[in-house]
Amino acid sequence: MIKIKPVDSIDALKPLKLAYIEQCTAPLDGMWLQGFVPFARHYALYADATLAGFCCVNEEGYMLQFYLLPRYREEAASTFRQLFRSGDAPTGTINGAFASTAEPQYFSHCLDLFSTFSVNALMYQLLDKAAVQPARSPFIELTAADTDELDSLVDFVHRNLGASREWLTAYYTNLLNRNEVFCHWNDSALLAVGECRGYDEYQTDYVDLGVIVDQSARGRGLATNVLRQLVVYSSERGLTPICSTESGNIAAQKAIRRAGFVAPHRIVKFDV
């Protein structure tokens, strides 16, 4: 029987994390992989004294990842059910799961266990990387942001998305230090922000794109324009761009498709 133990640091799980990424059928969404999963509570799964796998659960009680090494796969289904059926387990009560269709084993366990689910987000890949061309007219001017523009970025995103200033300050400080933020200005007015987020440990051949357009400038094709430039920027550096958007954001989906992306995968929310 697999035993569940909390871990103080996820560093001990790195070999398992790498194995988990390698068995996925497509790159995972960057915000989930680097923004949500590292801050979830992680648990080691042991077969006797041998580290056999791991899982992680966020503060809302939703599982984000589940993995057992191939030699323990026969116990995977029963272990997965055990995690959800026992409120006395070290994980506490688990309310559901988020899993993507690019995580076939974990996703299959979710399908077997849950009857209630909904699409949370669409995961996009570039339709034809070979077709990426250098920037062409009417591409707008997009400049790399620097640390002096942090306050402007935080104000812009807070105004347009409503995210907390504290979280945005930490988030964009990190991206600015990594030179991963790009801006489109009209005189002194910031109209669009593009992000080109790289990976340090996993999926290092990929880069996650994002774009936010000011409410006053939407409906003009600006988001598509920014994305196309970010595609060229990342491709020229030998990186494969990916991106995602919420399932209800129809405007973003149109802009992403026009920039040359398709969405073969989904992130799905499962509820007990």
Q: Is 201's pLDDT higher than 70? A: yes
pLDDT band at residue 272 under the 50/70/90 scheme: confident
User: Phi, psi (5° rounding) for residue 12?
Assistant: -65, -15
pLDDT score recorded for residue 93: 87
* Tens digits of residue pLDDT in 97-155: 999 999 999 999 999 999 999 999 999 999 876 566 554 545 688 999 999 999 999 99
Dig out the tokens for 227 from the structure. Answer: 């994305």
Domains assigned to the chain: 2-114 (3.40.630.80), 124-265 (3.40.630.30)
The pTM of the whole model exceeds 0.85: yes
What's the pLDDT score for residue 135?
Answer: 47
- Region 61-65 average pLDDT: 97
For residues 74-95, give the mean pLDDT. Answer: 86
Which helix (DSSP H) or strand (DSSP E) does residue 78 occupy? helix 76-85
Percentage of the chain modeled with pLDDT above 90: 85
Number of CB atoms found within 10 A of residue 216's CB: 10
Q: Are 105 and 76 in contact (CB under 8 A)?
A: yes
Q: Is the pLDDT of residue 38 over 80?
A: yes
Where helices occur in 86-221 by DSSP H, the ranges are 104-113, 150-161, 165-177
Banded pLDDT at 85 (limits 50, 70, 90)? confident
pLDDT in tens, 229-243: 999 999 999 999 999
CA pseudo-torsion sign 126, 132, 135, 138: negative
